[in-house]
Amino acid sequence: MSAIFDALPGIEVPVGAVSKSLANLWAETAADGRPAPEADDAKATQVNFVLHLGLHTTGEDAAQQFKVVERFSQRYPSRIVVLCPLHIDLPAAEIRAKVYGECFLGKSKADKRCVEFVMLSYSRSARQFLENEVSICLSTDLPLYYWAHRFTASGRLADYRYLLSRAKRVLFDSAIAPIDALTYPWPNPHGVRDLVYARLLPVRQSIGQFLSSYVPAVLVEGLRSVTVSHAGAVAAEARVTLAWLRRRLGACGREGEKVTFSLAPLDAGVAGRLAVRFDYAELSRYFRWSGDLATGQALFEADFGSGRTSLSAAVSLLAPEIALSEAMFF
């Protein structure tokens, strides 16, 4: 039995009858008077999406990620395939399937957005048949996006070359991915996206907009160190923020050999704290940003030689389903 497969909603159907079962599902939904796609609108599907739940995924986590993708699909109607590997291999190859569908109505009956899920549970010995099953389940002539969630090893994930090569974007969360995920030679490295970077969009925008009011040369003149302090819960966000600052300051013309970039863990008790600090050769010049991602409050403090500035601001991370769309489409 697969804990993650059993934790997901849907009706179990024969693997060879997925398409027919989805059609029957919508027919029954329409007969009950619930929202269902019209036969000739191709369910308004915009993308193919494969959510691969790795061996570190629990049943509770699987249900949570299912909800994330479901919320995403309310904005971008999708055909979604969820892959659920078995933790214990079986002597014989086994693939089980479930189907699930739901339509969401907008401001009018014409504004109907539908999502179709196909869940596939598979044993290791059935791995050789999986790509064929996935290709049958996907809608033709639509882009494919692949999200690998809690996979155990980059090398093992690389076995799924069909998905990695065909996908327009390959998504993973570096906060929970293997340490080499960002440097592994993926088949399509330009299509790889980190969900940590995506969900930091509001933080990057807020800091970037504040600093953009100053001439780039002023920001890097005499710059000696850049430090990102962080609570343990946002260590990945701090790492990604530091790398982003390194790139952006590089674009401003800083001399990298003279600038130290570092991370500084904060004491326990500040679960959502993230802070940025620029130090300069001239001690009177400085930049400070501190944010509490738990409370949504942030503070800017700066003096680049033209007087002190202090500004309160809001701060947040993107919701998971919005971070998905950010990573997929931008």
Contacting residues for 289 by C-beta, under 8 A, at least 6 apart: 207, 210, 275, 276, 277, 298, 299, 300, 301
The tens digit of pLDDT for each residue in 21-57 reads: 988 988 887 767 676 776 545 456 889 999 999 999 9
Tokens standing for 29? 């939904």
The band of 256, judged by pLDDT with boundaries at 50, 70 and 90, is: low
Tokens at 82, concatenated: 């969820």
Q: How confident is the model at residue 114 (pLDDT cuts 50, 70, 90)?
A: confident
Instruction: Please report the pLDDT score of residue 93 as a whole number.
Output: 84
| Contact (CB, 8 A) for 44 and 37 | yes
Contact 188, 164 (CB under 8 A): yes
Q: How many CA atoms lie within 13 A of 223 on its CB side?
A: 26
pLDDT in tens, 168-199: 999 999 999 999 998 999 999 999 999 999 99
What's the rounded Cα separation, in Å, for the pair 226 and 247?
Answer: 12
DSSP category for residue 118: E
What residues are paired with 13 via a beta bridge?
97
Distance of alpha carbon 74 from alpha carbon 321, whole angstroms = 10
Confidence of residue 92 (pLDDT cuts 50, 70, 90): confident
Residue spans per domain, the chain: 3-195, 201-314
Q: Which of 255, 200, 197, 195 is nearest to 222 (CA)?
A: 255
Residue 234 DSSP symbol: G
pLDDT digits (tens, 9 = 90+) for 235-253: 999 999 999 999 999 999 8
Q: Is 48 exposed, middle or buried (0-12, 13-18, 19+ CB in 10 A)?
A: buried
Minimal CA–CA distance to 211: which of 261, 179, 245?
A: 245
Element (H or E) spanning 169, and its range? strand 169-172
Rounded Cα distance between 38 and 127, Å, is: 35
Instruction: Name the DSSP letter for residue 38.
Output: -
d(CA 262, CA 171): 26
1 pLDDT more than 80: no
Instruction: Give the class (CATH, top level) of 201-314.
Output: alpha beta
